[in-house]
Each structure stands twice: as C-alpha cells, then as structure tokens.
Amino acid sequence: MPPGDPQNVPRGGRFIGASSGAFLDQMAADIYLQDIWTSQGVLYRVAVACVGWGLSVAMIQRTEAHEPGHPGPWVTANGLRHWLIVHDPGQQMVGVPVVPNPLPNHTPPGEGTFWVNGVLTIGPKLPWHHRLTLRVQPERGEYARLHYHKHEPRKDHRPDPPPIMPKNRGKHYVFDEIVYSTQLQNCRRAMPRQ
C-alpha cells in the first residue's frame, strides 16, 4: 500500500507514539475526524496539551480547508468538548503488579479548565498512570472514525505540534478509539471497535 493511504488498524491496535504530558503547553494534535488529504471545508481534530507535569487536557479544534491537504489555522472549540467521551477507571499499575506506582497520580476524572498557550481551554483531564479510553461522538448515536496522520518528528519542547508529514512519506491509520496508558512514559494506542 502506498505511504499515506488509509489503513484500518488491526484488532490488537497500533502503537501511535507518546502523548504530551511532560512539558507545559506542549501539544499533540495528530488525530483528525476526517482524512486531511481528501477533505475540505470545516475540519476537526483532537488535540491534547500538557497543563502540568503528568496531566494533560483533551480538546476539539476546528479549521477550514479551502482545498484538501491545506488546513488553515486551528482554533480550540470549547463548545464542542461534549464530543469527547473519556472513560477513566482510575490509576493503573505500572510495571510489576506488586510494586506500587512510583509517581502516584490521584487526579479525579472529569473536565478541567486550564490556560493552554494563552487560550482558556475546557476539556476532559488525561492524567498519566491512568488507562484511559477516548472516543469522539459528534452527534447522538454513532462514534466518529478517527484518522491518525503522522507528523514530522518533534525537535524541541515548543508548544505547537510539528507539521503533518507529506502524504508520500507519512502514515495514515483509521480507527475508533485511543487508549492512553503508561509504560515508561505516557503512550497511545489506536484501537478498532471491539
């Protein structure tokens, strides 16, 4: 399959990298509600920003693309935060089950209000050391299919996410939910509907 063409994730999911959670205001924004290469008009994505060490917030961002593959500036849409459905059963064990977590995180589930890169942002909290599942439900009933588009590697700890890789070099996975969990750092796995 040519690079950049959509691939459905396998039943066991696909590791899609680390999440933001160690550097204040750093944002990961590589999960889209549409295929960025073929869609135009109003586009949406899921962004996650670090708001404190070990704590991130999820948000919906929107933009307009006058032609496929060329989105305009992204803006946080607090009014669409109800699209984000997060299941947080609490803190997970890390490593050997009999060893307590060396960095406990007892952040309660739910929404939080934070300043992210100078913008007041309201959204679900995503604490490290919790196994979280995030789905997007724009309208009543059906959950959205999500699109991961690989971005360029991050070269620093600046807030803005790096740009999307060109289609001929990138990866594009289609899936239903994101599972956030912890290995040595917080990581993400794209999962199909079970």
Phi, psi of 121 (to 5 degrees): -125, 130
Query: At 105, is the pLDDT very low, low, confident or very high (cuts 50, 70, 90)?
Result: low
Whether 98 shows a pLDDT value over 70: the answer reads no
**The pLDDT of residue 79:** 96
For residues 123-139, b (16+ Cβ closer than 10 Å) or e, as one string? bbbbbbbbebbbbbeee
**The pLDDT of residue 154:** 83
Smallest CA-to-CA distance from 192 within 172, 180, 171, 178 is with: 178
Helix residue spans in 16-92 (DSSP H)? none
pTM: 0.87
Query: At 95, is the pLDDT very low, low, confident or very high (cuts 50, 70, 90)?
Result: low
Measured distance CA(92)–CA(104) in Å, rounded: 10
Q: What is the mean pLDDT of residues 116-143?
A: 90
With beta carbons less than 8 A apart as the criterion, state whether 11 and 192 touch.
Answer: yes
Question: What 3-state class would DSSP assign to 187?
Answer: strand
With beta carbons less than 8 A apart as the criterion, state whether 60 and 84 touch.
Answer: yes
Whether 114 shows a pLDDT value over 80: the answer reads yes
**The pLDDT of residue 190:** 78
Mind listing the pLDDT tens digit for each residue in 140-160? 778 999 999 998 888 887 888
Q: What is the mean pLDDT of residues 162-184?
A: 86
**Percent of the chain's residues with pLDDT above 70:** 86
Q: What is the mean pLDDT of residues 179-192?
A: 72
**The pLDDT of residue 20:** 62
Q: Which has more pLDDT, 99 or 76?
A: 76
**The pLDDT of residue 175:** 94
Q: What is the mean pLDDT of residues 108-133?
A: 90
Mind listing the pLDDT tens digit for each residue in 3-45? 778 889 988 888 887 776 667 888 989 999 999 999 999 999 9
Smallest CA-to-CA distance from 31 within 135, 156, 181 is with: 135
Measured distance CA(46)–CA(41) in Å, rounded: 17
- Which stretch of 66-70, 159-163, 166-170, 181-185 has the lowest confidence by average pLDDT? 181-185
CA dihedral 124, 151, 39, 9 (to 10 degrees): -70
